[in-house]
Every structure is written in C-alpha cells, then in structure tokens.
Structure 1
Amino acid sequence: MVVAKAPVPGRVKTRLTTVYSARQAALLAEASLRDTLEAVAAMPARRRVVVLDGAAGPWLPAGFEVVPQVAGGLDERLAAAFGQCAGPALLIGMDTPQVSAQALRQVLAPDAWAHADAWFGPADDGGFWALGLARPEPALLRGVPMSRPDTGRLQRERLTAAGLTVRDLPLLRDVDTPYDADVVAAAAPHTRFAAELARVKHPVAAG
C-alpha cells in the first residue's frame, strides 16, 4: 500500500513553497509519487493499493487499485488502511522517492515473515516511511502521535509492547523541506524526482 495525497498545487508539499511555487511543489510531489509507485510495481505483490486523499490522475500506473483515505488524523487513516487487508501487508509513504525495489524486496521475500511479525522503516526526521505487519491490526496504529520527532520511536514501541518481533528496513529521509529535496536528489540522481528538481531549479529560458 502507498499512502498518498493527489499532487494538486496548494495541497501538497507546502513546506517546499518557502523556495518553490505551489505548482513546482506539486510537480515535485508527483515525481516523488511516480518513483514510489514504480518501486512498488516492481515487487511480486498479489495486490497493490494506493490509499489516496484526492482523485487519481495520469500518474497512476496500471495494476494499482485506489482506496480513498478515511477522515481523521493520520493514525486513523493508516489504521484504516491496514484494516482493509487480510494478510501480510506493507504500507509506505510517497515522500521517499529514493526508495528502491531492493529495499522493499526483503519484505516480500518468501521467508520475509518467518522470523518477523513486523517490518519498520525509520525516517531520519524521527518518523517512519514504511510499516509492514504480518497480521494487520489497526489498533497497533491508533493513538500513536503522528508528525512528531518521536513518532517513529513511539510506533516501534507500540509494536514491541504488543509482543511483536520487529525487523528494520533502511533509514531513509523524507522530502519535506527544500533542504531535504536537495539531499534526496543528490543521493538518488537517476530518479524522476531528481530530474524534476533540476528542472524547477534551472528552467530552460523561453526562446
């Protein structure tokens, strides 16, 4: 599952607008989303879902179904996403365009759940970019404070307190600020996101 917001100017990546226009921020969000969906599409999953706030657009590739996000805080929206899964499920965000199929592959390997009840992808801002559950249980997310420097720690503690064996995915940086965008693009120069960032930074002069 990919939790996403439709890349509409003024509704996404507003923290980028300290440097870029709302349209440019939306273009960067779309590029990040496309990179994320491409990584997910390369995985041997039985089901691929975009849990979406907004309407699907031409950025949505074939092979994905769309499920609307429920109302409420982020913890409620993530919990509801897991609530519509019947088996092992991995949920990721749209803010890590550098995510690779290689990073995700271990969660979908044949033995991925042999020694793990959960997979946790920490973000370097203190949150998390991925969460996998062998037995999706919405209560594992409800009530966890979101968008805080300690969100990742609190979410991971919720998992271990429930007696789950947790394995970690690589630490990744979310793209939230212009500085984040520069760091991520430099680390993943072959992504759509990096190419779009280069375009908005250095537009070709008209004529």
Structure 2
Amino acid sequence: MAGDGDGRAVPAAHGPVEGDRHLARHVVRGARHAGGAAVTTLLVIAKEPRPGRVKTRLTPPYTPDEAAALAEAALADTLHAVRAMPAARRVLALDGRPGPWLPPGFDVLPQGTGDLDERLANAFARCTGPTVLLGMDTPQVTAGLLAPVLADDAWRACDAWFGPAADGGFWTLGLADPRPELLRGVPMSTPRTGAHQRARLSAAGLTVRELPELRDVDTAPDVPRVAAAAPHSRFAALAARLAR
C-alpha cells in the first residue's frame, strides 16, 4: 500500500461529525440493496511523485529522478484506471500537490499527518458509505480486477473486500462501513501487515471477501515483474526505456 512516504504530510482536514457517521450507517444499510458502483467511493492514497520523496527504495539502481518518474507513471496508470471505473465518487488523498498526472473527476483531499495506519484511517473517515482503498504502486489494477467490488451484489452479505499483496501487505481494502478504528494500530510496512489487517477485520466480526493477490512496486526487482503484469501501461513503457 502506497502513500507511506518519508517527507512531511499535509495537515489533515477535519473528519466527519457524528451526525455524518450516523447518516453513513443508513447509507451502508441501503447499499445492501443498491448497485455496488452506484454507492461506492473509490479512494486512492498517494504521494506527490517528487525526486527524493517517493520510491526511495528503488535507488539504487535507479536515480531519484527515475524512481520519481516510475512513481508518477504508476500513479497516472492507477488514477486513469479508477477514472474509467463506475463509482459514486472518486477521491485522492494526497501528500503534496496535484500535478499534470491527475485526470479530472477526483476530489482531492490532504492526506493528513501521522503514521500510515493513521493516514489510512483518516482517509476512510472522510468518506461515507462503501469505500474501496487503493495505493499508487499497483499500475496493473484494472476495472476487471475490481469488478466484483463494483458489481450490483458487491455489498450484499459482505462487509469488507481484501486484496493481499505479494510482499505480505495489501493492495486494496474495501469497507461497507468505513470505520477508522479498523485500521488504526495495524502495523504497516511489515511482511505481516496484510495478516494483521485481515485479522482485524475478522476480529470485528466482518464478513470478508477476497480479491486476487497483486505485487506492488517497492524494490527494484518489483519493477520488471509489475511491468510484465501491465504490458500496455505507462509504467511498463517507462520501465522498458529505463532498462535500455
């Protein structure tokens, strides 16, 4: 899951008031009987792709400029894929400033401060109704992969969707009721992050459906593997040029 940079974060906006949370629960109950895409928010958490602030674990062998370019390509691929998906709302929780890589159709919110678990929790807290979280480092994401989450029956007898990552984390998390406490305190960026998050959902008594495992871009060996999984992406084209 991306968005866990080493630079300073933008100050957080205020979360929803209690009345909003009460309304959200009515929305969740209605979502059980409404089309998935019609009620679902797609939430991307990302960091402005600036050299020295993103994908620092790619350097070396990549230079800071090349690592930032790969991050920008992955982010652009993700955002354009999300823009093409049916959804009630599209939100970008951003650490930094928007750039030319941002397509229209997104509500841009400051990512907030704190550790990654706190920033993920804050991002969910500013959404109402079913919400699906994505990071910026899985450019192979397609509408087909997320089709089950956006189907008409996506939230019937289902409280959460979970997509594990190959490194032990997770690449997506969908919550019918986006409660921040489901993420706060989960240890992030470890080989057991996904297991901890999945266990948190089960401990809360949620019915969870699984999505396929994906590899995200964290280290240099991930670059050609992810590019091969998304051969027609901006990310793959840039990876090929850098390899030459």
Alignment TM-score > 0.5, same fold: yes
Q: Which amino acid aligns with 1:118?
A: A
Q: Deviations over 1:156-193 (max 9, x none)?
A: 00001000000011100010111000111122211110
Give the 5 Å matches for 1:1-207: 1-202=43-244
Q: 2:146 is paired with a residue of what secondary structure?
A: helix
Q: Which amino acid aligns with 1:103?
A: L
Provide the rounded CA distance (Å) in 1 between the counterparts of 2:125 and 2:229: 34
Structure 2 gap segments, 5+ residues each: 1-42
Structure 1 gap segments, 5+ residues each: 203-207
Provide the rounded CA distance (Å) in 1 between the counterparts of 2:198 and 2:81: 24
Provide the rounded CA distance (Å) in 2 between the counterparts of 1:26 and 1:129: 20
Q: 1:48 is paired with a residue of what secondary structure?
A: strand
Give 4+ residue runs of structure 1 displaced > 6 Å after superposition: none
Q: Deviations over 1:67-94 (max 9, x none)?
A: 1111000000000011011100000101
Q: CA deviation at 1:115?
A: 2.4
Provide the rounded CA distance (Å) in 2 between the counterparts of 1:101 and 1:177: 25
Q: TM-score when scaled to structure 1? A: 0.96
Q: 2:89 is paired with a residue of what secondary structure?
A: coil
Count of aligned pairs = 202
Provide the rounded CA distance (Å) in 1 between the counterparts of 2:177 and 2:219: 34
Q: TM-score when scaled to structure 2? A: 0.82
Provide the rounded CA distance (Å) in 2 between the counterparts of 1:92 and 1:181: 18
Question: RMSD value over aligned CA atoms?
Answer: 0.7
